Amino acid sequence: MGSAEVGRLGSAALRILAVAAVYYGAAQVGLLHQLVRDQVTPLWPPTGVALAALLVMGLRVWPGIALGAFLVNVSLGPSLISVLAITAGNTLAPVCACLMLRRAGFRIELDRLRDVLALVFLGALAGMLISSTIGSGVLVLSGALDAGDFWPTWSVWWTGDAMGILVVTPFLLVLRKARWPSRAGPGRWLEVVALALGTVFVTLLVTRTPDSNLLFLVSPFLIWAAFRFRLAGAAPCALAVSTLAILAAAGDRGPFVGEDVFASMVTLQAFNGTTALTALLIAAVITERDSTHEEIKRVCERLAEMVARMEPRPGPHEYPPENPPPP
């Protein structure tokens, strides 16, 4: 085995271990706000981490997802067999989601409307059916849950994984390409600060008010972020809003006071889903519009150059335009 091959294997092993470590850390954050059996949460960040890793680094890092999922569930599962089954579901779901997205021609830049729709329907809604079905079924079969609790647990599990895809994956894809804006002037930075403070303030306000109708007052800030900063502004704002809403639901505050788990989940996930879709769809539409405008501009410039080259030049007995013939 040559040194180059050893280096490639070492690099691959490091990537796998890094994915496992980030997956485990994200799981610990998600478990702070569990709603069912101390392990089912309304937002499961590791799923978003797993899909982002697969999209960026390829399917070869799937062992890191499996290792991270095993380390998380080994202290939570009722038995080793159950832990292995849940780990398989947690690994298979993002892998299948990645394969479906690739099949659909998904681009990680999320600069087209079709990419956002693919992430929603293939990555989040369809792909996460696997983990939620396997996980909830294993908990029921192992006796950790009653059979009547299957569907409530399944719904929380599925929406939690789906929200991890919709909220965390776009944020990580944006973070991957983040660069310090060297040309941003003071006005641009002031706008960023105003957007961040306004989003946090309004979200804290509406998530501590009993009226659930006020939750959607954050929509103007999401639209502002998407219009002015595209995905780079929309993804962080959606993550911040969803996180603050989950904190309010876990703390039984605001519109979630006195609600049972199912009612809180309906309100919370309807709000989080609307938040993520509003931010991502508007950002994608604006980015696609800008790309189309730039492409049209380039085509017009090329046509102008072609027309300029095709214009006939005056012959030796012709008068140039600047020297008209004498009267």
Where does the chain have alpha helices with state H?
3-30, 45-57, 62-73, 80-103, 113-118, 128-141, 150-163, 169-176, 186-206, 219-250, 261-310
Fold of 10-178: Arp2/3 complex 21 kDa subunit ARPC3 (1.10.1760)
- Indicate the average pLDDT of the chain: 88
Where do the domains of the chain lie?
10-178, 181-308
**Confidence band of 37 (pLDDT split at 50, 70, 90):** low
The per-residue pLDDT for 116 is: 94
Q: pTM (2 decimals)? A: 0.88
Specify burial of residue 57 (Cβ count, 10 A radius: 0-12, 13-18, 19+).
middle
Across residues 26-54, what is the average pLDDT? 83
Across residues 249-265, what is the average pLDDT? 79
The per-residue pLDDT for 257 is: 82
- Provide the residue type at 125 as one letter: L
pLDDT at residue 39 tops 60: no
pLDDT at residue 193 tops 90: yes
The per-residue pLDDT for 41 is: 80
pLDDT at residue 300 tops 70: yes
